[in-house]
Amino acid sequence: MADYEENKQKNSFTLFSNETGKSYDLPVIKGTEGPDVLDIRKLYEETGMFTYDPGFTSTASCDSSITFIDGNKGVLRHRGYDIHELATNSEFLEVCYLLLHGDLPSPEDKNKFKEVIRNHTMLHEQLVYLYRGFRRDAHPMAIMVGVVGALSAFYHDSTDFSDIKQRMIACHRLIAKIPTIGAMAYKYSIGQPFVYPRNDLSYTENFLYMTFSVPTREFKISKKIVKAMDRFFILHADHEQNASTSTVRLAGSSGANPFACIAAGIASLWGPAHGGANEAVIKMLEEIGDVKNIPEFINKAKNKKDPFRLMGFGHRVYKNYDPRAIVMKESAHEVLEELNKLDDPLLKIAIELEKIALKDEFFIEKKLFPNVDFYSGIILKALGFPTSMFTVLFAIGRTVGWISQWKEMIEDPINKIGRPRQLYLGQKTRQFQSESTREKKSIFKWLWK
Ligand code: ACO
């Protein structure tokens, strides 16, 4: 954990107020890589002013040593390791260990870690009744938010996270149980029997087994498909302080238990501007329907008056090709080749759309490149997942990132409850109006219709 006092640079940044004629020195803190930050913790005390940054475009909400992104260069590293190297040479559980503990595991630790995760793959049997309480047509993300939140009602012996043992058990339980939870949400929505985990299979093969096997047939899956799914999980494992991770940290800063915090993260991930984008990409490609219709959709995306956006394009941090999208594109080709689906019409539309957009002045000027979601939906669809499961798969991969970031925050001695302030633009104080003096007609007619 970075020590602010040690890390504080000698240099500072001077703010000058035209109003008071006073100047204020803000200390500058230097990270190991990436932009330095202005330490504004004393700003309000000294100036009586807040900073204003809706969407946190210029705000570092914490310090972290888990993930580094250079959005301009298209760099993503976990604990110093490049994402391309991890996705090519590593397996997902190794990356989980790396995110949680800071380094790649020794062979002995790797075996131990796998064994510990295997020990936690089952869900409390009572949770089956919770699933049965949902409508069959419930979105699997809705089920996931509910079931993950409910884990805190079942695993009381790992909610006291001030105890390092309980804290670690909660981390292991979440990583181990999330594929079981996701697979059960899917099985429930299609009316098939739940499939219990098999601990003789690898983490990812077990997930595919729980999702796609049925009691009436032998389950077989190719190694290449298992590898592609494992790589999908690696590519989604962590992405520093994005919306869902920040949600997990904010929920956790109040002392909420880890299961409740991860449920909050899943809720945040669900939105189409975040994890829901992979689902939206497939819908968009289907709507485009044919390569010849691409220019029409490109024009819609460029039209300021049209709310349509090219889904799977653009990123708050990457102003270059998302490095995860490069691997995902390679993976899409491998999967479709393995499944004999290289003539997939959606892949053709996606490749052509990418080509046209990357040459278009609008996208060049706004630095809009394909993000991780652009090709992931094509892989998932080819593997047989319905679009409603896409964000669930993202959540399975991201759970380790959320829990590692939560753990880092809990273990940080300067951990404080997250409590942003605001620029108030509402009414100043006014006298209470008695009912007889108020407007006689409804001012909210549309609401009562
Ligand atoms: N299509 C067309 N125009 C776009 C797109 C897009 N996909 N993305 C951004 N723009 C334009 C905006 O209209 C805006 O134009 P303006 O400056 O003329 O107003 C400009 O580019 C900047 O866009 P913002 O929305 O301000 O950028 P922000 O950083 O807030 O948003 C976001 C990033 C939400 C990802 C955005 O690019 C988007 O909506 N993309 C499509 C959804 C998507 O793919 N989300 C997945 C993100 S990756 C992930 O969560 C795993």
Three-state DSSP at 66 gives coil
CA of 372 to the centre of ligand 1 (A): 13
Pocket probe for ligand 1: among 53, 278, 313, 354, the residue whose CB has the most ligand atoms within 8 Å is 313
Reduce the DSSP state of residue 388 to 3 states and report it: helix
Residue 319 beta carbon below 6 angstroms from any ligand 1 atom? no
Axis-axis angle for helices 164-190, 203-212 (nearest 10)? 30
**Ligand 1 proximity of 315 Cβ (cutoff 6 Å):** yes
The per-residue pLDDT for 69 is: 97
The structure's pTM equals 0.92
Whether 302 lines ligand 1, by a CB cut-off of 6 Å, is no
Instruction: Identify the three-state secondary structure at position 411.
Output: coil
Ligand 1 pocket, 324 CB below 6 A? no
**Cβ-based neighbours of 257, under 8 Å, separated by 6 or more:** 152, 159, 161, 170
| Dihedral angle of Cα 407, 411, 416, 417, to the nearest 10 degrees | 30
Q: What is the DSSP letter of 233?
A: H
What is the predicted pLDDT for the residue at 3? 52
Give the number of the atom of ligand 1 that is nearest the alpha carbon of residue 239. 51
Which run of H or E residues covers position 104? none
Tell me: the pLDDT tens digits for 263-291?
A: 999 999 999 888 888 888 999 999 999 99
Q: Tokens in use for 22?
A: 């006073």
Q: How far apart are CA 282 and CA 374, in angstroms?
A: 9
Cβ pair 248, 355 in contact under 8 A: no
The one catalytic residue among 39, 322, 360, 373: 373
Instruction: Report the pLDDT value the prediction gives residue 291, as an integer from 0 to 100.
Output: 95
Count of CB atoms situated within 10 Å of the CB of 176: 23
Q: Is 283 in the pocket of ligand 1 (CB under 6 A)?
A: no
b/e per residue 131-153 (b: at least 16 CB within 10 A): beebeeebbbbbbbbbbbbbbbe
Question: What sign does the dihedral 115-116-117-122 (CA atoms) show?
Answer: positive
pLDDT of residue 277: 86
Strand partners for 16: 23
How far is residue 249's CA from residue 350's CA, in Å, rounded to a whole number? 35
Q: Is the CB of 309 under 6 A from ligand 1?
A: yes
How many angstroms separate the CA atoms of 38 and 124, rounded?
Answer: 47
315: annotated active-site residue: yes
Q: In degrees, to the nearest 5, what angle opens at C-alpha 378 toward C-alphas 295 and 344? A: 75
> Which of 315, 333, 343, 360 is flagged as catalytic?
315
DSSP state of 387: G
Compute and round to an integer the Cα radius of gyration of the chain.
24
pLDDT tens sequence across 319-339: 998 999 999 999 999 999 999
Q: Kindly give the confidence (pLDDT) of every residue in the chain, 449 residues in length, as a single tens digit, with 9 standing for 90 and above.
A: 445 555 555 688 999 989 889 999 999 999 999 999 999 999 999 999 999 999 999 999 999 999 999 999 999 999 999 999 999 999 999 999 999 999 999 999 999 999 999 999 999 999 999 999 999 999 999 999 999 999 999 999 988 989 999 999 999 999 999 999 999 999 999 999 999 999 999 999 999 999 999 999 999 999 999 999 999 999 999 999 999 999 999 999 999 999 999 999 999 999 988 888 888 899 999 999 999 999 999 999 999 999 999 999 999 899 998 999 999 999 999 999 999 988 889 989 999 999 999 999 999 999 999 999 999 988 999 999 999 999 999 999 999 999 999 999 999 998 899 999 999 999 999 999 999 999 888 888 888 88
Q: Give yes or no for a contact between 78 and 66, defined as CB atoms under 8 angstroms apart.
A: yes
67 vs 395: CA distance, rounded Å: 18
- Whether residue 363 contacts residue 313, with contact meaning beta carbons closer than 8 Å, is answered with yes
Q: Is 139 a catalytic residue?
A: no
